[in-house]
Chain A
Amino acid sequence: MSQTIARPPDIHLGTDYIGRPTSRVDGPAKVTGAAKYAAEFNVPGRYYGVVVSSPVTKGKITKIHSAPVLALPGVVQVFSHENAPALASLDKSYKDDGALGGSPFRPLHAPRILFSQQPVALVVAETFELARYAAFILKIDYEAEPHATDLETQRDAGFEPGKGKFGFQPPPAPRGNAKQAYEQAPHRHEAEYTHLAQHSNPMETFATTVEWLGDGNKLNIYDKTQGAHNVQRYITKVFGLSKDEARVVSKYTGGGFGGGLRPQYQVFMAVLAALELKHSVRVSLTRQQMFSLGHRPHTLQYLRLAADDHGALQSVRHAALAETSQFENFTEDVVSWSGLLYQCENVKLDYRLARIDANSPIDMRAPGAATGSFALECAMDELAYKAGVDPLAFRLLNYAERDQNENKPFSSKKLRECYHQGAAKFGWENRNPAPRSTREGPLLVGYGMATGCWHASQQKAAAKARLTADGRLTVSSASNDIGTGTYTIMTQIAAQTLGLPLEAVTFVLGDTSLPEAPLQGGSWTAASVGTAVKNTCDELAKKLLGLAQKMDDSPLAGVGFEDVQFVDGQIRRNDDITQSVVIRDVLQASGEEKLEVESGATPDTAKQLPYSMHSHNAVFVEVKVDEDLGTVHVTRVVNAVAAGRILNPKTARSQVLGSVVWGIGMALMEESVMDHRIGRYMNHNFAEYHIPVMADIHDIDVVLVEEEDDIVNPLGVKGIGEVGLLGVAAAVANAVYHATGKRVRDLPVSIDKLL
């Protein structure tokens, strides 16, 4: 039996790190600039590749005038479909772990243009400045064809996407009779909710530095990604390299938010150039090119809800139509939440896609759920008003005690506590329900709330642990830290499991030479890699105990693993903690230089299958609206989250703070505006694609609601990277209604919609 992570709270032990607010172990590297991101591995003699993007949305390239560019001294090569080498021919070679249904885009493969800003050439030169100049003057002829980029014009072209990408489940079958129940109910609401495409825009643009090592085709590929092994599999399949030849390294990732779940085209281009030129190459994308990498899709949502005279939900109808590309089916779970969040016997959910001439969308923080919860939670607010029930009371009245989609109990669900604790902290009871009822000087004040849930899941992961005679522990797994705190929480888990001080433990990640971890996404890293680290360290602890028992006059002789504890650098007997050995002495006494274990964890599906596993949140928002100017300020937010055990309240709180900022951006600012005449996002830069700045962010209070769950995984964690975003945009829109009496159903709630 393994040592359990949870100990009674009254026993405070020095190396009990789990659950303790802990500063990021990678903090010093990040605040001093020592942390190296993909474009910062300055391998000597590197060339620079600059990507040329298509100004045409649909059509084909007819000629690339490379000669004048190649004549510039210092320009090395212009790569395009005209001279790219023959690579893997089958679609399956281009399918990565995050691939969608359909045919993946192949950079520099054919003259055909499938979307605006499609990469069409890579100009390689000896300096960045020269490559950029050469890319600017490269003349390309196109034959443009008419394109269709507006989802609004494709309303009748929707189709059911089927299976789509890994993990996607089509909406559950209808239950009851949603139409009949709606028609018979006294309180009814129907409306359409929309948002345009949004781009995740991590601060670090996508970049790859390929270090050419010679020796056959050996490469070190420093890439911005959320999955080093995923990139390695893609590169080895596409370029016919061995794993040994394509080592992928990703130590620091300057934000991911889903964009790094698939290999992006710069890694393809950098590897292609390095192999062709037998030279190290760096390719960095521009901020403008970041808008060509995939996006949260433009989605149209139809909601139709009904309640009886007591406010009990009688009918839920939620149908979504989302854009996808001409070549892949991007699928995300937009509608199933509407059959899950509330008790309702009559539910019908639909999800359809329609093709436009744009790049395939890609997962963007809380994919699907952020979209769906915005529409559902705004509609719930509207129905609560029609039924004459307080929006919070309305949700409590329709609280789902069971997952009706799957007909399963929840492994744990502390949403009720989220409602109560969040409302108390916010002061919801002070709310005058009438719209336009509260003023503060010239400003209208509004309170709104909303809620959400997100899957708790675990994937297979592996880890390695090595204890050396100096008492230092190194634990590794090829996961990522995209700002989520992976370095820190894994260090905490390893240190606590072996009873070592945090300073004696190093966690290593982001390298395909390490044991494999799943893609860093889905809020599953803490559960997946954390359990793998825990198991691996437990196995190391068992080996260590074996060695300790062989020591002369060992006080631990004959005791079982469950009879000892690893604490404060010692192995101690539970029945008499004075009977102990110092961990550092064990290896030294054994004569071994190191002790090493490689192990991992897979989800206990037999245990998990009978249950529905989700994290939940409740968001309360105060806005102040200047009616003369149409400006909205989100002045207070309380976000109460129940996400299982919190490994590190300090970094977990930050994840929720960030989610709130994302939600405010989604509610008030973010939209990628396509000019359909030319088929391009017109605001493809940070000056015009607005995200919140510090002046937009005021009081945010995060409540981490206690929740125990021994079903989800041995650590009891559910993940917290995404759930905090859910409901934020809806709560803001609902607060704007409460303040102004205006319902804005198409995000963002911009000034023009309030004037």
Chain B
Amino acid sequence: MSSHFTQQPVGPAVAALVPAQPVALRVNGQERTLRIAPWTTLLDALREYLDLTGTKKGCDHGQCGACTVLVNGKRINSCLSLAVAHVGDDIQTVEGLGTEEQLHPLQQAFIDHDAFQCGYCTPGQICSAQGLLNEGRARTADEVRELMSGNLCRCGAYSNILTAVLEVLHAQNA
């Protein structure tokens, strides 16, 4: 007994694909012009066209938070956003927060408290934490837990991430 099955295409092949076009983005304070097709996500624009690979792809569906960046100071999942929608925006990635020589307080706190293991979710966690600080809503450990829960960490470094974020939060509010 057998049955025929055809893997149905999502739609007919588009005869003329929309060509790549120049798009100017302001990333980490720098104006960058890149040639991309309009269906390019902000995440892929950063990683594949601007060589800013600090921003990670963990699911491409807005389910894991690894791609979190700051747009005009607000944290977003860059995989759920098209790059062309961000012309004129201030885009900040983990590379724009600090450098190995001059670490951002969150980056230093993550190292001090061993708030990562494999490091793959880390840039997203740090950008998300900066977004959380910018929002100014979280005050308690439980609030940080809740408001950082869009960022998955499969190594399970949550306790240490919490400690690191609280340290910076308290220092900021001191």
Q: Which of B4, B55, B117 contacts A144 (CB 8 A)?
A: B4
- Complex CA gap A311/B12 in Å reads 70
Residue numbers in A under 8 Å from B95 (CB-CB): 32-33
Known contacts A654-B157, A694-B161, A697-B145: does B6 contact A31 (CB below 8 Å)? no
Instruction: Choose the segment among A210-218, A242-250, A421-429, A658-666 that binds chain B (4+ C-beta atoms closer than 8 Å).
Output: A658-666
Contacts known (A32-B94, A650-B114, A694-B145); A255 close to B4, Cβ less than 8 A: no
- With an 8 A cutoff between CB atoms, is B121 at the interface? yes
- B110-125 contacts to A, CB under 8 A, are 110-112, 114, 116-123
Bound-complex Cα distance A482 to B44 (A):
24
In the complex, whether B73 has a CB less than 8 A from a CB of chain A is no
Given contacts A34-B100, A143-B5, A694-B145, contact A73 B17 (CB under 8 A): yes
Q: A406 in the interface, Cβ–Cβ < 8 Å?
A: no
Quick one: which of B57, B121, B150, B156 contacts A284, CB cutoff 8 A?
Answer: B57
B117 touches A286 (CB 8 A): no
The answer on a CB contact under 8 Å between B53 and A686 is: no
Closest-by-CB residue of A relative to B98 is A32
The residue that B37 contacts in the complex, of A29, A127, A286, A662, with Cβ under 8 A, is A127
On chain B, the residues within 8 Å of A74 by CB distance are 17
A33-B55, A138-B9, A657-B160 known; A254 vs B119 contact (CB < 8 Å): yes
B159 on the A face (CB < 8 A): yes
Besides the contacts A204-B120, A287-B58, what 20 more A-B pairs have beta carbons closer than 8 Å? A23-B112, A31-B123, A32-B103, A32-B107, A42-B53, A54-B7, A59-B5, A62-B4, A130-B37, A137-B10, A139-B7, A143-B3, A203-B120, A203-B154, A204-B58, A484-B117, A686-B58, A687-B61, A691-B152, A697-B158
A residues 103-155 in Cβ contact with B at 8 Å: 127-130, 133, 136-146
Contacts of B20 in A (CB 8 A): 127
Does A414 sit within 8 A of B, measured CB to CB? no
A40 proximity list for chain B (CB < 8 A): 47, 53
- Interchain CA distance A325-B121 in the complex, whole Å: 32
Interfacial chain B residues near A143, Cβ < 8 Å? 2-5
Q: Is A408 an interface residue (CB 8 A)?
A: no
Q: A483 touches which one: B17, B103, B119 (CB < 8 A)?
A: B119
Q: Are A142 and B111 in contact (CB under 8 A)?
A: no
The reply to whether A203 and B118 contact each other, CB–CB distance below 8 Å, is: yes
B151 at the A/B interface (Cβ < 8 Å)?
A: yes
Q: How far is the CA of A128 from the CA of B122 in the complex (A)?
A: 24
B111 touches A31 (CB 8 A): yes
Given A33-B55, A694-B158, also A129-B40 (CB < 8 A): yes
State the CA gap A203–B123 with chains docked (Å). Answer: 12
27 A-B residue pairings within 8 Å (CB atoms): A27-B116, A31-B107, A33-B55, A33-B95, A39-B53, A42-B53, A59-B2, A128-B44, A133-B17, A136-B10, A137-B13, A139-B9, A142-B4, A144-B2, A144-B4, A145-B2, A255-B117, A483-B119, A651-B114, A655-B117, A657-B160, A658-B117, A658-B156, A659-B156, A687-B63, A694-B161, A697-B156
Give the contacting residue for B99; candidates A27, A32, A144; CB below 8 A.
A32
Interface hit among A64-72, A327-335, A442-450, A563-571: A64-72
**Candidate in B5, B110, B146, B160 with the most chain A CB atoms within 10 angstroms:** B5
The listed residue (A33, A142, A202, A254) touching B5 by CB distance below 8 A is A142
What residues of A have a CB within 8 angstroms of the CB of B120 in the complex? 37, 202-204, 254-255
The answer to whether A695 and B146 touch across the interface, beta carbons within 8 angstroms, is yes
Indicate with 1 or 0, residue by residue over A591-612, a CB within 8 angstroms of chain B CB atoms: 0000000000000000000000
Q: Identify B153's interface contact among A30, A137, A141, A203, CB under 8 A.
A: A203
Taking CB atoms, residues of chain B closer than 8 Å to A26 are: 119
How many Å lie between the Cα of A484 and that of B114 in the bound state?
11
Residue A672 at the B interface, CB < 8 A? no
Taking a contact as CB atoms under 8 Å apart, the answer to whether B122 and A255 are in contact is no
- The count of chain A contact residues (Cβ–Cβ below 8 Å) is 86
Residue-wise interface mask of B (58-82) relative to A, using a CB-CB cutoff of 8 A (1 in contact, 0 not): 1111011010000000000000000
6 A-B pairs closest in CB distance: A33-B54, A661-B156, A254-B120, A483-B117, A483-B118, A30-B119
Number of interface residues of B (CB under 8 A): 75
Closest to B62 in A: A687
Interface residues of B in 1-40 (CB under 8 A from A): 1-13, 17, 20, 37, 39-40
Q: How far is the CA of A651 from the CA of B115 in the complex (A)?
A: 10
Cross-chain contact of B52 among A33, A136, A201, A700 (Cβ < 8 A): A33
Complex Cα spacing A74 to B35, Å: 15
Once the chains bind, are A31 and B156 in contact (CB under 8 Å)?
no
Complex alpha-carbon distance, A250 and B20, angstroms: 32
Q: Which residues of B sit under 8 angstroms from A685, Cβ to Cβ?
A: 59, 61, 63
Interface string of A16-38 (1 = CB under 8 A from B): 00000001101111111111110
Q: A144-B2, A254-B56 are in contact. Are A55 and B158 (CB under 8 A)?
A: no
Inter-chain contacts of B9 with A (CB < 8 A): 136-139
Which one of A26, A39, A144, A255 has the greatest number of beta carbons of chain B within 10 Å?
Answer: A255
Best-buried of A133, A136, A659, A686 by chain B (most CB within 10 Å): A686
Does A56 lie at the interface of the complex (its beta carbon under 8 Å from any beta carbon of B)? yes
User: A202 to B154, Cβ gap below 8 A?
Assistant: yes
- Determine whether B149 belongs to the interface, using a CB cutoff of 8 Å to chain A: yes
Q: Are A205 and B94 in contact (CB under 8 A)?
A: no
A29 to B110 Cα, complex, angstroms = 12
Q: State whether A694 touches B2 (Cβ < 8 A).
A: no
Contact pick for B103, options A31, A73, A484, A653, CB 8 Å: A31
Q: How far is the CA of A74 from the CA of B66 in the complex (A)?
A: 29
For the complex, give the distance between the alpha carbons of A484 and B157 in Å: 12
- Which residues from chain A contact B63 at a C-beta distance below 8 Å? 287, 685-687
Chain A residues with CB under 8 Å of B56's CB are 37, 203-204, 254
Cα separation A255 to B155 with both chains bound (whole Å):
7
B7 touches A142 (CB 8 A): yes
Looking across the interface, which residue of chain A has its beta carbon closest to that of B162?
Answer: A694
Whether A146 pairs with B1 at a CB distance below 8 angstroms is: yes
CB pair A686 B48 closer than 8 Å: no
